[in-house]
Chain A
Amino acid sequence: MKISLNWLRKYVDIDISDEDLIRTIGARLVEVEGVIDETHKYDSIYIVRVEKAEKIPDTHLTLCQVNVGDVDIPKVQKNEDGLVQVVCGAPNVREGMLAVWIAPGAVVPASVHEDAPFVIGKRKMLGKYESNGMLAGADELDFDDKHEKIAEVDSAVAQPGDTLAEVFGLNDKILDIENKSLTHRPDCFGVIGFAREVAGILGKKFVEPDFLHEETVFPEGFLTVEKDGPASRDATLDIEITNAEICPRYTGAVLKVTDATAEDKYLSEIQILIAKSGMMPVSRIVDVTNYLMLLTGQPLHAFDYDKFLKVGGKDTAKILVREAQPGETLELLDGKTIECIPSDILITSNGVPVALAGAMGGKNTEIDENTKNILLEAATFSLYHLRKTQMVHGIFTEAITRFTKGVPMSGTFNVLAEAVKEMNAKPLELRDKACVPFATNMVEVLVEDINRLLGTEYSRGLIIKTLENVGFMIVDAGDSLQVTVPAWRTDIHIKEDIIEEVGRLLGYDNIVPTLPLHQTAEPNRMWELKKRIREMMWRLGANELLTYSFAAGRLLERAGQDPKNSYKIVNSISPELQYVRQSIVPSLLDKAYVNQKIPFDTFALYEMNKVYQKEWGMNDEKVPVEKMQMGMVLAERKGIGTAYYKAKIYMANILDELNITAKYLPMKDGDEAVNRPFEPKRSAIVIADDGAVLGVVGEFKNSVRRSFKLAEYTAGFELNLDTVLQKIGGKRDIYLGEVEKRDLTVKTTGTYAELIDKINTLLMQNSVKAIITPISIYQPEGAEEKNISVHLEFHQKIDDNIMEELEKLS
């Protein structure tokens, strides 16, 4: 939303610098995204009178002599009558008119923000007609986008030599407001509401414009308003609303108009304000509705009344507001035909749709040059319904932007009445229907409550004044303040809302930061575990990754997992991100391919993150069971040997450092989703002392490895960190006694683990303790047996008998 500071100044007296004002608005009202500085946009542009206008034969051009008043521009020569010669190509140039002259050396305002702003010069046209500057159209002045004619100025407001900027207040700064920071403040989507807040933050009492707070009287003694509905003032206009929720209030008036599509003859303030606010002037009638919307935040819509009657097939108008029926269609003003959804609200003429409420009017009641009477609407609609309408039909008009914030029902009648005045039209009929009573909201709050929550010491008087400045009415009831909330503040319900108003209007930056005494934090064990692992893996030359929680169904399938076991995202960005992942390894296999392609020859990738599987079901909170897992994938493009053992070393390093004793059991065809990518013949299930499964380590199935296009030397693991956390060992035994070191080689056909068991059993029988570390495994070609060599570090002196017995093992 764009807010002109000059427009604001009409409603609030601003006595601080623009910089301070903008900073204060940012700190106390709303996020200012940017400031468009227009203070020099209209420099060297003047009002002039065309004294002589002669057609140049065989061209569309006119040779004009213009009266520029006292203005003297270097190098611009005036003729003996003191007039300046300008060639003009517009059809509407004529003697006697006041026009806008862009003097040589000035920049065309519409080009100010372009990379190369267009500087007007002095030049010869058709080789002989000197033209000094140009007579500007509203498009060149950046007021609209129609390139048809030059702008004309009313002689009642200006005279030759006046600067355009002064006459129309164009030395301005425009605030670009972040709409999102006002989603709860429909009242601020109009200049008056914004000005009220600016007054509030400057500590001034806001004076409500008469037309908004006084009993409005229609011209020619029409009807007066009473503000305590539900009420409907009588007229032949019949308004029916099928459901009070969708349209709390609807005010309609029928006006007789002439030249319904005519533009203002003269450059008008309304047009300029509309342009400054980022909209385009259209015609007098539409401009008035837009201007009042920008001013008050209350959108208006004008129908062709006679078309409205014809569509409804009745002599008198029946406005029926209802929800759309399935399959109903409507052609909108922009020429698009929409198919309605049931939550769309339709304005109908006796049941026949004529507008998509709050969003856009229908083509069938569009105003055209033959329009004699208009039906003017000021209404409020359910923001929830319109929110859906906006999303489904992709309509983002200024009107619906306001309606979806929840336009309060207090303004319809007064704004409509102001529109009638501005249009200078004759009202024929009027009806105001409020379906919901006008409720006045009262909130009680203690001064102590306010200061207690904010951490301030604001006085009672200051608090009352601050609230009264922006329209709250306060009864000081001794202990408490009884606050009556103004009708436009639909967002205020509880005392905390009042506290927010006080804190905000007086400035949060005036609150003194303090520090409470703190207590001791409890360590988070999982967090600490992950920190330790991160440290270890870094030391071990591995790379920590964070990858998406969502994966393609195809990726899961390539890793051997069933997408049906994954929670499926229904509104995923792409099929690549459709399923919540079941384990970490598949994501890493994918990234291993990416890195192998770059190419990186060797790496170990790992990630610790949360995973979900449907078969794990729900927890006590009825949300899916989650597990914290660590995945690791190592890969070498040119690696030879058995990758399994390298992955195992990583796993063993972690478990060892955490003092967890683990066993590596040959993997049977594991059906667990986590195990799916792993090749059972070359993978181990890793269990703790008590049999709890810590994870899986191994090489990947050939089919998996190939589908991820990875080189042969690839392995990895998946570790369940929740279980790991439970099994972390206590203190490690530190042995400082006598030591004897021996090497041992045993010929065996069994597995390494079986041999170690045998060694341990034998040592135990001899009451001897030793730390066993592996050295090598040698298997002569074609032999069944392997020679397994280990290193023994005995925690005592031993005799050779034990070694002899050990060597006999097989």
Chain B
Amino acid sequence: MTEIESLKQELKKVNAEYAGIRNVPAEERAEFGRKINAKKQEILAKIVATEKKMLDTQVEPIDVTAFCAPNESIPEVYSQEYGSRHPLATEIDRVCEIYQMMGFDVVESRQLDDEYHMFDSLNFAKEHPARDGYDTFRTEEGLIPPAHTSTMQHRVLKEYRDKLAQGKNIAVVVPGRVYRNEDVDATHEHTFYQCEGVYVSRECNMGQMLGILREFFEKYYEQKLEIRTQPGYFPFTEPSLEFMIEKPKSLGGKKGDFLEMLGCGMIHPNVLKMAGIDPAEYHGFAWGGGMDRLVMLKYGLSDVRAFESGNLSFLRNFR
């Protein structure tokens, strides 16, 4: 008898036992029923598991070292015309390439981090409401899928600070995936991409920050651009700004149209200090902006949800 048959036999027996409930005194019936039912559930679970096991045992082994099965032809890869590259990945590559040309190293952001890197090391006061603004997810252990790529700032500063002693600058961009606990709609995703920039040197100032950012966007959009700023607020930069560019011609921009591109500012002395860099000697600036919108603008996309949909009707448009 197979394992499954014997289990089914057992099930029958239990069902038969259940019929005996009539002979059980009324006050004991509930308990009796519970016991029988538990037994029944246990057997049913075993049947499911066994069936699953059987499904996976009725399998012919193959020669995994071969290149094809006997009497089959060697399979071919799909035609390149089906191939596609994810537009976000392509665009982030392009962004990083430009920054690399401008002397920035690329460090990819983590996707699971802790409170220290996400907030403490960035001069967020404990319990400060500014932390709520990030709508972070948390794990049972209190870990945080980061809500901004700034979660890498402290690491980058620490890892690169020796360069300062050698008379060099810190110049790093950090692309990466970030997460916020917010409802998803055409313009909001809980999962999206950002790119962070960190620059530290002895002489650096806000004029240089504006210069580097303008240079980047002029290279990216391949045209001269006017820039504008707005005061902003981030605990980890002081002063803090929002950075805007004139809407590029390639995006149908007209005179006077401006696009908010990113937040930026001079790195707060406390952030430098925490990373072991003397703020009296060195200054820095940092910025961070979303990648998804950049791509949506470039391709005229209206629904951010398409990016993580995995839908080939969308993805195969991007060669």
The complex places the Cα of A522 from the Cα of B102 at a distance, in Å, of 11
Q: Is A514 a contact partner of B103 (Cβ separation < 8 A)?
A: no
Q: Which residues of A contact B223 (CB under 8 A)?
A: none
Q: Is B127 a contact partner of A453 (Cβ separation < 8 A)?
A: no
Partner of B269, one of A494, A665, A788: A494
Chain-B contact segment, one of A150-158, A602-610, A726-734: A602-610
Distance (whole angstroms) from the CB of B186 to the closest CB of chain A:
16
Chain A CB within 8 A of B266 CB: yes
Chain A CB within 8 A of B252 CB: no
Q: Which residues of A contact B76 (CB under 8 A)?
A: 649
Q: Which residues of A contact B68 (CB under 8 A)?
A: 642, 645, 774, 776-777
Chain B CB within 8 A of A301 CB: no
Q: From B184, which residue of chain A is reached at the shortest CB distance?
A: A573
Q: Is B315 a contact partner of A777 (Cβ separation < 8 A)?
A: no
Chain B CB within 8 A of A337 CB: no
Q: Which residues of B contact A642 (CB under 8 A)?
A: 62, 68-69, 72
Q: Is A27 a contact partner of B228 (Cβ separation < 8 A)?
A: yes
Q: Is B72 a contact partner of A703 (Cβ separation < 8 A)?
A: no
Chain-B contact segment, one of A266-274, A319-327, A541-549, A738-746: A541-549
Contacting B at CB under 8 A, from A701-735, are 701-703, 706
Distance (whole angstroms) from the CB of A596 to the closest CB of chain B:
10
Q: From A522, which residue of chain B is reached at the shortest CB distance?
A: B105
Chain A CB within 8 A of B316 CB: yes
Q: Using known A-B contacts A567-B139, A604-B78, determine if residue A527 contacts B212 with beta carbons closer than 8 Å.
A: no
Partner of A516, one of B83, B108, B127, B208: B208
Partner of A514, one of B105, B207, B315: B207
Chain A interface size range? 35 or more
Contacting A at CB under 8 A, from B58-117, are 58-86, 88-90, 93, 96, 99-108, 110-114, 117
Q: Is B307 a contact partner of A453 (Cβ separation < 8 A)?
A: no
Chain A CB within 8 A of B27 CB: no
Distance (whole angstroms) from the CB of B68 to the closest CB of chain A:
5
Q: How many residue-residue contacts, CB under 8 A, span A and B?
A: 345
The complex places the Cα of A479 from the Cα of B6 at a distance, in Å, of 95
Q: Which residues of B contact A305 (CB under 8 A)?
A: none
The complex places the Cα of A727 from the Cα of B226 at a distance, in Å, of 47
Q: Which residues of A contact B232 (CB under 8 A)?
A: 181
Q: From B239, which residue of chain A is reached at the shortest CB distance?
A: A500
Q: Is B67 a contact partner of A752 (Cβ separation < 8 A)?
A: yes
Chain-B contact segment, one of A28-36, A65-73, A214-222: A28-36
Q: From B315, which residue of chain A is reached at the shortest CB distance?
A: A543
Chain A CB within 8 A of B254 CB: no
Q: Using known A-B contacts A514-B208, A521-B100, A681-B59, determine if residue A645 contacts B52 with beta carbons closer than 8 Å.
A: no
Chain B CB within 8 A of A235 CB: no
Q: Which residues of A contact B81 (CB under 8 A)?
A: 541
Chain-A contact segment, one of B9-17, B39-47, B140-148: B140-148
Chain-B contact segment, one of A115-123, A167-175, A622-630: A622-630
Partner of A531, one of B93, B138, B229, B283: B93
Q: Is B143 a contact partner of A624 (Cβ separation < 8 A)?
A: yes
Chain B CB within 8 A of A801 CB: no
- How many residues on B have C-beta within 8 angstroms of the other chain's C-beta atoms? 117
Chain B CB within 8 A of A39 CB: no
Chain A CB within 8 A of B203 CB: yes
Q: Is B138 a contact partner of A569 (Cβ separation < 8 A)?
A: yes
The complex places the Cα of A603 from the Cα of B316 at a distance, in Å, of 11
Partner of B130, one of A183, A456, A522, A569: A183
The complex places the Cα of A415 from the Cα of B134 at a distance, in Å, of 34
Q: Is A453 a contact partner of B231 (Cβ separation < 8 A)?
A: no
Q: Which residues of A contact B212 (CB under 8 A)?
A: 515-516
Q: Is B78 a contact partner of A31 (Cβ separation < 8 A)?
A: no
Q: Is B206 a contact partner of A454 (Cβ separation < 8 A)?
A: yes
Partner of A183, one of B61, B82, B233, B310: B233
Q: Which residues of B contact A788 (CB under 8 A)?
A: 66
Q: Mark A654-673, 1 if CB is under 8 A from B, else 0.
A: 00000000001111000000
21 contacts between A and B (CB under 8 A): A31-B242, A183-B130, A384-B129, A387-B132, A454-B206, A513-B211, A516-B203, A519-B169, A538-B80, A543-B83, A549-B177, A567-B140, A580-B112, A623-B117, A642-B72, A645-B69, A645-B72, A645-B75, A666-B65, A777-B66, A777-B69
Apart from the given pairs A523-B100, A682-B61, A753-B65, 11 other A-B contacts in the complex at a CB distance below 8 Å = A183-B233, A454-B205, A508-B229, A516-B203, A540-B80, A541-B81, A543-B316, A571-B138, A610-B112, A703-B56, A776-B74
Pairs A-B, 9 closest by C-beta atoms: A455-B207, A541-B78, A518-B103, A753-B65, A591-B310, A500-B239, A455-B205, A779-B70, A684-B64
